[in-house]
Amino acid sequence: MVPEIYLNFLWYILVAVTSIQLLYHWLVYRRLSFAKVSESTPKRIAVSVIVCAKNEAENLKKHLPAILQQDFPFFEVVVIDDRSSDNTLEVLEEFALQYAHLKIVKVAPNEHFWGNKKYALTLGIKAAKNPYLLFTDADCVPNSKQWIAQMSSQFTMKKNLVLGYGAYKKIKGSWLNKIIRFDTIHTALQYFGWAMAGKPYMGVGRNLAYHKDLFFQLDGFKNHLKVLTGDDDLFVNEAATAQNTTWSLHPESFTTSEPKTTYTEWMYQKRRHLLAAPHYKFSDKLQLSLYFLVNFLFFPLAIGYLILTQNWLWGVPVVVVRYLSLYIIYFKAAKKFGEKDLIWFLPFLELFLIYYQIVIYFKNLTSKPLHWKPIES
């Protein structure tokens, strides 16, 4: 029989952990979940779409036309060939014969910046002729011909950084694909929610826009150039403020990317992405770490209390309230992003994501990914 004093202590810790989770849900994440999606008026501004491509010949064949054929009056598409070893350059040159607004930037070998995507992007940004920059990846496709119009419509005199949403394509019957899409919603709740709360801390390079002047005001990626990743989230972490940051939640402003199809590929991608987190501002690292910690602790605390106590009257309501809150927040966010099918699996997806986050963390402690794309690509 466990002494009552220990059960009481376990109960108070469980309530504290759950309360912190609920504060995150209803003070931060609900801002995205309950946000209104309104129509915006397109602006007559000049935009440069920037795509960095490394061995992306097949993806460019599939996705580049959707970017080049956007319904927008003033734009160019700048594609950087980052020393590809496949026929990426040949594919781009064929497109350039059809589309005068396609600009190709070739990255010459530079031993000081070998394997660094930020160097390639910097060359593309410098080559862009327009003041407003819109970024995506070679494996991404805009959800509509209004993508540029919707994203650029959010720019104002004060708002010079726009956060967008980048989804992943659905693969029927794939559990890994469900984890990837759930992770994407989870991340979106965090970065959109905190931006709406006045503390923007990251964005995703699959769908991100900012003014060229902002890039040069910060000397580009200078402060984190040696960090393998972070051309999107570390730049936003440094540049974004409550005053200059806005977002687009219109479905026509979304992009959809090709998801990884093996756990090894996805783990490498996640490991690379998570290399940026230690370089965030201290307050951002603190809030992200706290949320992960309380999420992780909830499960052993709840299970331990329910097993050890003989009175479930106090434990079950805490679990029910926590999951009710989780379902409301995630359901409304998933509905907004067209991912409602994930809600049926929410408790399992959450557990799998926590497990993989722990595995990735410890893998990165012992070894780190060395390139922005695996060498074999």
Residue 252's nearest CA partner among 377, 146, 140 is 146
Q: Specify the pLDDT at position 272.
A: 85
Residue 204's nearest CA partner among 156, 269, 301 is 269
Q: Specify the pLDDT at position 76.
A: 98
Q: Specify the pLDDT at position 233.
A: 95
User: Residue 340 and residue 181: Cα distance in Å, rounded?
Assistant: 11
Q: Specify the pLDDT at position 6.
A: 81
pTM of the predicted model, to two decimals? 0.92
67 forms beta bridges with none
Q: Is 61 exposed, middle or buried (0-12, 13-18, 19+ CB in 10 A)?
A: middle
Q: Specify the pLDDT at position 7.
A: 82
CB atoms within 10 A of CB 98: 9
User: Residue 75 and residue 142: Cα distance in Å, rounded?
Assistant: 15
Q: What is the pLDDT along the chain (377 residues), one digit of tens a residue?
A: 778 888 889 999 999 999 999 999 999 999 999 999 988 888 999 999 999 999 999 999 999 999 999 999 999 999 999 999 999 999 999 999 999 999 999 998 765 555 578 999 999 999 999 999 999 999 999 999 999 999 999 999 999 999 999 999 999 999 999 999 999 999 999 999 999 999 999 999 999 999 999 999 999 999 998 888 899 999 999 999 999 999 999 999 999 999 999 999 999 889 888 889 999 999 999 999 999 999 999 999 999 999 988 778 888 999 999 999 999 999 999 999 999 999 999 999 999 999 998 998 888 887 666 554 544 43
Q: Specify the pLDDT at position 203.
A: 97
